[in-house]
Amino acid sequence: MKYTQLGRTGLKVSRLVLGTMNFGPQTDEADSHAIMDAALASGINYFDTANVYGWGENKGRTESIIGNWFAQGGDRRDKVVLATKVYGNMGAEGEAWPNHDKLSALNIRRAVDASLKRLQTDYIDVYQFHHVDRSTPFEEIWQAIDTLVQQGKILYVGSSNFPGYKIAQANEIAARRGGTIGLVSEQCLYNLSERRAEMEVIPAAQEYGLGVIPWSPLHGGLLGGVIKKEVTGGRRSSGRTADSLTDPAVRAQVQAYEDLLDKHGIEPGEAALAWLLTRPGVTGPIVGPRTAEQLDSALRAVELELSEELLTSLDEIFPGPGPSPEAFAW
């Protein structure tokens, strides 16, 4: 495994981030534990989750699965850089109660204690804001975070799904307060097919020293060889991926992508991950394996070297927006 610094921090993290969103809803606890064991054995030390994972009536289930894995010992917790998130309402469906979601000081305090209990740990390495809270000023948010850092409950803070201007606003207010390190990472939707983050989010992250953690690196399976799987009778696409392929232009684009990689003898999903690892500012993409085989495929991407010719061809199939402001101005 290869490692890098998380943004401007001294924290070393693996170039792949283990996403755990499938643990519980799609992967049972025993298989989830086996995947985490395999990930750790391969050198992946950055695990990402969220308090709402498990979804519906099972919110928090994913954190509990991870906590039970930590409880098995073997230095599991000591070896893992643990990241979780706060924002979503943790109340029962249809029974949302005021102040049980978003980023008020009250909810942050409540949410971190609940996550620590489920995760069976006394600290969280990277505590992430799952979304922008337009109702809570950053002065309040940072005051709550400062308290948690002083208490030793969290070490660093990251954002997720923040626009560039909110990254700037958050860190400028943190700097004015003094003594607050501010955001050190941003999780954003970023992949070959969805490159809008290159306009504002990634430049802002680089300017303020945030590591970029792309989520949905295969764009919901669209970049994972979906057309080839249809032809060979493999797992068929569904949901947004299937809907996207009904657009002739998208289908032609994905077909060109798969044909290109077939010519080079490279698996599409591995190429999509390897491409992200070449992008400026990217710490490492989140991979969310449902099976051990999917984890093995993701690990191969770390060692995959994409030629300049191939990178140019990928840009021709999936052109980015270009730098800001030139992308929308002269």
Q: Which residues are known catalytic residues?
A: 53
**Distance separating alpha carbons of residues 127 and 158, to the nearest angstrom:** 6
Contact 288/19 with Cβ under 8 angstroms? yes
β-bridge pairing 3-5 and 12-14: antiparallel
Contact 138/170 with Cβ under 8 angstroms? yes
Of 177, 181, 190, the C-alpha closest to 210 is: 181
106 contacts: CB under 8 Å, gap ≥ 6: 99
125 contacts: CB under 8 Å, gap ≥ 6: 11, 80, 81, 82, 83, 154, 155, 156
Alpha-carbon distances, residue 107 vs 245, 246, 281 (angstroms): 40, 42, 31
**Distance separating alpha carbons of residues 63 and 85, to the nearest angstrom:** 10
CA 281 to chain centre: 14
Q: What is the dihedral of CA 303, 276, 290, 211, to 10 degrees?
A: 110
108: tokens are: 């942050």
Return the biggest CA–CA distance within the chain: 58
**Distance separating alpha carbons of residues 83 and 68, to the nearest angstrom:** 16
Looking at the chain, which runs of residues are DSSP E strands? Answer: 3-5, 12-14, 17-19, 46-48, 81-86, 124-129, 154-160, 183-189, 211-215, 286-287
The residue type at 322: G
